[in-house]
């Protein structure tokens, strides 16, 4: 439980960093902006990666710092998979944007991704 | 029983029943009533529906019985209408007897009318279906077979009452079906099997009492199936829905073949129903239902949103936010199953996979649908052909596009005929249609560009009459007067000829100058030749020499003596020599031509100057506008920068 809260807090603080990054790139056209934001900021225990879609939906990934085997490309591919699964969830007309995602497919994908990394 | 029957008879149309008939009918009636009461233990609503507390035959066994009479469905409908069951809403003894009498009449070939029952008729004959007959005769194999079904479906007995209620509601509802009421009629085979099983038990027990009109089992599955398939198209009709349910019931047993997951199999009736529903939402069976449309439709089924969301996830295999026909059928089936109490599966069952559903679609229906989709694809092809035909540009384009489209339609035909699946007609017409559409779309702007270029070229041709050879000739003609001088003054032409190459780069000449140029072309070549002869000319002039050589030949012969005289002055080019001599004689005509050309040139110069002035003015105006816009932009950027630090805190 504590960990969950801590992660929630970390994700929330990282949202500010994401906003900063978006606004910094905002002068250029949106098309030129990269979706993958890269390492947002490292703490002593964790690294936080960010990704934002064209519709300003933000994905934040918190990774253990001790997991040095994780490369940037892998993170990118994970974000891409997340993005694809997210669009599949959005395609469901019964899903209201902003709701908690209850899609089993999505959950399975995320779990498998996390297991694969760990 | 007979007394009640007699009493009942008095209320309806006057029936004269012989003793045999009375006995038979009462037996049948008792059977139906008994079956009704036996088959529906938890059916207090059924009793409530019975008006005035008199025993009435439940619609189920009655329909079964009527069906066994082997009469066509329409006749049975007529009979039920006539006997008053529809009016009253149930089969009371009166209605039942009238119906039986009408059945007898129909079987004897008499028209189905009230009058026909007044005469003496043989007893109605009832051919039992394979289902009931086998069960009735207590065939152990079949009983076992039917028993096997029961464990699957015992859980559904409690929902039977609900189904029945909904079915009754279905009658009273308006013709626009809501998915709530109508789907229950589609999987009634889940419920009907226990009913028929109970019924068959009763009948087998009562069978010994009444051997007369029932004959042995008849393998009548197919014709009845098809006839009830037709009747199944009117699910609102009470009888039709029941009849359909019984035929569905038979099919359930037939479908015991491959897959163990019976509840997830879509039967023919259900499929037809789903297809009709699909059509009501989207007329084209090969196209998609959008997500919002499907959402509205499925929310009518009153399932919870998370469940609907999960069903959608299962059924929308390609996750495109739209449902094709097999996806729609799968989703509908899942919803129906869920409403009947089945838990939703973890994954899409194999019988509900889109590939399976497409392969298993009934052929006659899909030939029509395929034909529709194929005709649509043909239409799109024709449209593409027409669009391409409308291209004014080149015949070649027209030849190109119809050829590939016809090839693709050939492929379409083969694909459609070979597989008879839905995906291919859906995908193939769409895919070739879309590339064809894109081709036609690409072709259309291309045609426009062609036409525009042709127009531009035509316009340019109007403005730009002189081809390069004439133009330099003109210039040479202009310089011809000078060249004449050059003939006598070899020193001068060196500089003058230097002027000659630049003139070819002049802008297009107006039309009127073209004709005099062409007329004077014969004379021009000698003048052209003079230029190269008098100076070391560049290649264009030499080309002109080559052009001018043929026309200058006739002139050459005339002026040979002069050539010879002037040859000394032109030792450099032998070609130029003979031609140069020709210049002496045409000199006066050349002068006239040159004056005309001078005027033409001068007018051209004037026009060009005017055009120049106009363009210069335009340019300056645009420059001013540009400056203003720049200034505005700078001002806006300043403002933006001033505002920016305020927002970013």
Please check the confidence at residue B119 and state whether its pLDDT lies above 70. Answer: no
Look at residue A71 in the predicted model and tell me its pLDDT. Answer: 80
Distance in Å, alpha carbon of A89 to nearest chain B alpha carbon: 8
Alpha helices in B42-125 (DSSP H): 44-49, 59-68, 73-83, 85-88, 93-107
- In tens, the pLDDT along B129-188 reads 444 433 444 344 444 444 444 444 444 444 444 444 444 444 444 444 444 444 444 444
Cβ-proximal residues to B259 (8 Å cutoff; 6+ apart), any chain? B265, B349, B350, B351
Look at residue B72 in the predicted model and tell me its pLDDT. Answer: 79
Cα B622 to the center of its chain, rounded Å: 50
B274, B315 contact by CB (below 8 A): no
- In tens, the pLDDT along B273-290 reads 888 888 888 877 778 888
- Smallest Cβ–Cβ distance between A23 and the set B305, B321, B648 belongs to B648
- Write out the two tokens for B21: 């008939």
Q: Could you give the angle at which helices B470-478 and B480-488 cross, rounded to 10 degrees? A: 60
Residue of A nearest to B319 (CA): A88
Contacts of B310 in chain A (CB under 8 A): 102-104
Any CB–CB contact under 8 A between B152 and chain A? no
Chain-chain contact of B319 with A88 (C-beta, under 8 angstroms): yes
- In tens, the pLDDT along B211-242 reads 444 444 444 444 444 444 444 444 444 544 44
At residue B322, the 3 state secondary structure works out as strand
Chain-chain contact of B313 with A102 (C-beta, under 8 angstroms): no
- Smallest Cβ–Cβ distance between B309 and the set A87, A88, A102 belongs to A102
% of chain B beyond a pLDDT of 70: 33
Look at residue B252 in the predicted model and tell me its pLDDT. Answer: 44
- In tens, the pLDDT along B392-437 reads 444 454 444 444 444 444 444 444 444 444 444 444 444 444 444 4
pLDDT band of residue B254 (cuts 50, 70, 90) is: very low
Q: What is the mean pLDDT of chain A?
A: 80
Please check the confidence at residue B343 and state whether its pLDDT lies above 50. Answer: yes
Look at residue B639 in the predicted model and tell me its pLDDT. Answer: 92
Please check the confidence at residue A48 and state whether its pLDDT lies above 80. Answer: yes
ipTM: 0.81
Chain-chain contact of B291 with A93 (C-beta, under 8 angstroms): yes
Q: Could you give the angle at which helices B423-463 and B402-419 cross, rounded to 10 degrees? A: 180
How many angstroms separate the CA atoms of B533 and B522, rounded? 18
Which residue is listed with tokens 């619609």?
B59
Look at residue A17 in the predicted model and tell me its pLDDT. Answer: 84
Top pLDDT among B38 and B107 is at B107
Looking at residues B447-462, what average pLDDT do you find? 48
Q: Phi-psi region for residue B464, left (φ > 0), alpha (ψ -120 to 50) or beta? A: beta
Looking at residues B11-19, what average pLDDT do you find? 59
pTM of this prediction?
0.34
Looking at residues A98-115, what average pLDDT do you find? 86
Look at residue B99 in the predicted model and tell me its pLDDT. Answer: 77
Q: Pick from B313, B317, B637, B643 the residue to mutate for testing the A interface (most A CBs within 10 Å).
A: B313
């Amino acid at each position: 439980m504590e960990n969950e809260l801590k992660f929630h807090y970390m994700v929330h603080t990282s949202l500010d960093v994401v906003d900063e990054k978006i606004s910094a790139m905002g002068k250029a056209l949106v098309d030129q902006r990269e979706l993958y934001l890269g390492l947002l900021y490292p703490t002593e225990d964790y690294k936080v990666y960010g990704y934002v879609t064209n519709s300003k939906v933000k994905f934040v990934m918190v990774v253990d710092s001790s997991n040095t085997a994780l490369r940037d490309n892998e993170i990118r591919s994970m974000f891409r998979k997340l993005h694809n699964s997210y669009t599949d969830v959005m395609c469901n007309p019964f899903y209201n944007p902003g709701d908690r995602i209850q899609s089993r497919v999505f959950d399975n994908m995320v779990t498998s991704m996390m297991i694969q990394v760990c | 029983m007979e007394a009640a029957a007699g009493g009942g008879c008095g209320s309806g149309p006057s029936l004269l029943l012989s003793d045999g008939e009375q006995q038979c009918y009462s037996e049948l009636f008792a059977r139906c009533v008994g079956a009704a009461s036996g088959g529906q233990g938890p059916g207090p609503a059924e009793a409530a529906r019975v008006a005035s507390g008199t025993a009435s035959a439940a619609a189920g066994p009655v329909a079964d019985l009527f069906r066994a009479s082997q009469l066509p469905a329409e006749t049975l409908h007529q009979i039920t209408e006539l006997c008053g069951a529809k009016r009253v809403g149930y089969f009371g003894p009166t209605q039942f007897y009238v119906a039986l009498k009408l059945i007898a009449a129909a079987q004897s070939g008499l028209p189905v009318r009230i009058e026909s029952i007044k005469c003496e008729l043989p007893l109605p004959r009832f051919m039992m279906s394979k289902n009931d007959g086998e069960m009735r005769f207590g065939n152990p194999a079949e009983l076992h077979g039917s028993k096997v079904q029961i464990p699957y479906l015992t859980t559904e007995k409690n929902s039977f009452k609900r189904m029945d209620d909904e079915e009754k509601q279905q009658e009273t509802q308006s013709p626009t079906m809501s998915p709530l009421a109508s789907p229950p009629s589609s999987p009634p085979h889940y419920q009907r099997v226990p009913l028929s099983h109970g019924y068959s038990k009763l009948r087998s027990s009562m069978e010994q009492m009444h051997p007369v009109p029932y004959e042995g089992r008849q393998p009548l599955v197919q014709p009845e199936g098809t006839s009830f398939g037709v009747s199944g198209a009117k699910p609102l009709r009470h009888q039709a829905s029941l009849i359909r349910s019984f035929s569905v019931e038979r099919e359930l047993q037939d479908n015991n073949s491959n897959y163990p997951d019976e509840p997830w199999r879509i039967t023919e009736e259900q499929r037809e129903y789903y297809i009709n529903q699909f059509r009501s939402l989207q007329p084209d069976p090969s196209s998609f239902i959008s997500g919002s449309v499907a959402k509205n439709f499925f929310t009518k089924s009153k399932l919870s949103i998370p469940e609907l969301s999960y069903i959608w996830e299962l059924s929308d295999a390609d996750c495109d936010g739209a449902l094709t026909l097999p996806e729609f059928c799968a989703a509908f089936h899942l919803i129906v199953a869920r409403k009947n109490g089945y838990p939703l599966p973890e994954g899409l069952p194999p019988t509900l996979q889109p590939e399976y559903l497409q392969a298993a679609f009934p052929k006659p229906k899909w030939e029509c649908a395929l034909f529709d989709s194929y005709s649509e694809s043909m239409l799109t092809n024709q449209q593409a052909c027409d669009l391409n035909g409308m291209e004014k540009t080149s015949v070649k384009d027209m030849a190109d596009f119809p050829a590939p489209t016809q090839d693709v339609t050939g492929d379409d035909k083969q694909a459609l005929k070979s597989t008879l699946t839905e995906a291919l007609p859906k995908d193939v017409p769409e895919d070739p249609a879309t590339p064809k559409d894109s081709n036609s779309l690409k072709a259309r702007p291309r045609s426009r560009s062609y036409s525009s270029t042709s127009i531009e070229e035509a316009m340019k041709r109007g403005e730009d009459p002189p081809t390069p050879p004439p133009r330099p000739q003109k210039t040479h003609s202009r310089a011809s007067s000078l060249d004449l001088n050059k003939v006598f003054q070899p020193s001068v032409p060196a500089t003058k000829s230097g002027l000659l190459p630049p003139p070819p780069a002049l802008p297009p000449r107006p039309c009127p100058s073209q004709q005099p140029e062409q007329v004077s072309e014969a004379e021009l070549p000698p003048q052209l030749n003079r230029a190269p002869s008098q100076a070391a000319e560049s290649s264009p002039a030499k080309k002109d020499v080559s052009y001018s050589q043929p026309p200058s030949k006739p002139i050459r012969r005339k002026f040979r003596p002069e050539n010879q005289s002037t040859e000394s002055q032109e030792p450099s080019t032998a070609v130029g020599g003979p031609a140069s001599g020709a210049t002496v004689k045409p000199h006066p005509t050349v002068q006239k031509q040159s004056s005309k050309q001078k005027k033409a040139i001068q007018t051209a110069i004037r026009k060009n100057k005017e055009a120049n002035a106009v363009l210069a003015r335009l340019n300056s105006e645009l420059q001013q506008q540009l400056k203003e816009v720049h200034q505005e932009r700078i001002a806006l950027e300043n403002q933006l920068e001033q505002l920016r630090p305020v927002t970013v805190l």
